[in-house]
Structure 1
Amino acid sequence: MRTTADRVRHALSFEIIGILLATPLGVLVFGLHGGDSAVIVIGSATVAMAWNYLYNLGFDHGLKALGRSTEKSFITRIIHAVLFEIGLLLMLMPLIALYLGITLWEALVMDLAFALFYMGYALVFNWAYDRLFPLPEWQAERG
């Protein structure tokens, strides 16, 4: 399993790249003021970083408890991304509605759009991260 330092590197790099991509999307797609888009994206990233660490730690422990490797297949990666985004959606929707002074429905639509973007981004980012920083145990399991 990944170390705490590796998980922190993963979470920080994921969120920094995500902020750089998602902030302009909030302006373009929802017509948000740049400052509001930045607050939403950075606030969401802050919540997501904490959730990312806890969720990935729990997911990996769950895989191990099931007697499986922490190396994820394509299907496991899809399940991983969808469950992550559902949990994050439930945390962020009321915060977005409160900050922007919009209805929960409007916040849900906005949050779903960001979630769809982040699901695709998470799938690609996590695949690339695992290729750049593979765990030694994966080689041993293949060997």
Structure 2
Amino acid sequence: MRNTRDRIRHAIGFEVIGLLAFAPLASVVFGYELHQMGLLGAVASLIAAGWNYVYNLIFDKAMLRFTGQLRKSVFVRVLHAVLFELGLLVVFLPSVAWYLDISLVDALIMDIAVAGFYMVYALIYNWLYDIVFPVPSLKADKRESGAALG
């Protein structure tokens, strides 16, 4: 298991490196100025982080109320992910369309492309992160906790 400090490092690294990769690439691919894509990416990152916190809190409370537990089946996990993304779309699409002065359809196409980028980026980032900052082995954890007790 990773500790809080490591999780914070992971999250900040993900957002900063992602934004540094996203802004120039999106500027070239979509034909907008670097500062426009940088601002859009930074705002989207902050909104997504805030929505992630609020959404998970609401979803967990709803699960407890309706099911009495928090264990998620595959169906519930898929529902959770889809509703999360739909919530972001409700905020992002009109905002992106307004900021870039494009149609909602064009904003949706852009969102699909950005989601594809971030899926590939997340795979690569997390893989490399685990190589650079490996998760402590269970045996090492047990030795450390045993040494602390002894």
Q: TM bucket by the smaller chain?
A: 0.5 to 0.7
TM superposition score normalised by structure 1: 0.65
When residues 12 and 93 of structure 1 are mapped into structure 2, their CA distance, relative to the original with a 3 A threshold, is: same
SS in 2 for 1:19: helix
C-alpha separation in 2, matches of 1:124 and 1:56: 25
Partner of 2:11: 11
When residues 56 and 11 of structure 1 are mapped into structure 2, their CA distance, relative to the original with a 3 A threshold, is: farther
C-alpha separation in 2, matches of 1:118 and 1:88: 14
Alignment check: 8 A CA contact 2:2 2:135 kept? no
Partner of 1:116: 116
When residues 17 and 34 of structure 1 are mapped into structure 2, their CA distance, relative to the original with a 3 A threshold, is: same
The alpha-carbon deviation at position 50 of structure 1 amounts to 3.7
Unaligned runs of 5+ in 2: 58-69, 73-77, 140-150
Percent of pairs identical after alignment? Answer: 44
CA RMSD of aligned residues (A): 4.0
The alpha-carbon deviation at position 101 of structure 1 amounts to 2.5
Work out whether 1:23 is the aligned partner of 2:23.
yes
Partner of 1:75: none
C-alpha separation in 2, matches of 1:120 and 1:101: 28
Q: Which structure 2 residues correspond to residues 6-85 of structure 1 after superposition, within 5 A?
A: 6-51=6-51, 66=71
When residues 12 and 24 of structure 1 are mapped into structure 2, their CA distance, relative to the original with a 3 A threshold, is: same
Q: Write the letter of the residue equivalent to 1:128.
A: L
TM superposition score normalised by structure 2: 0.63
Unaligned runs of 5+ in 1: 58-64, 68-78
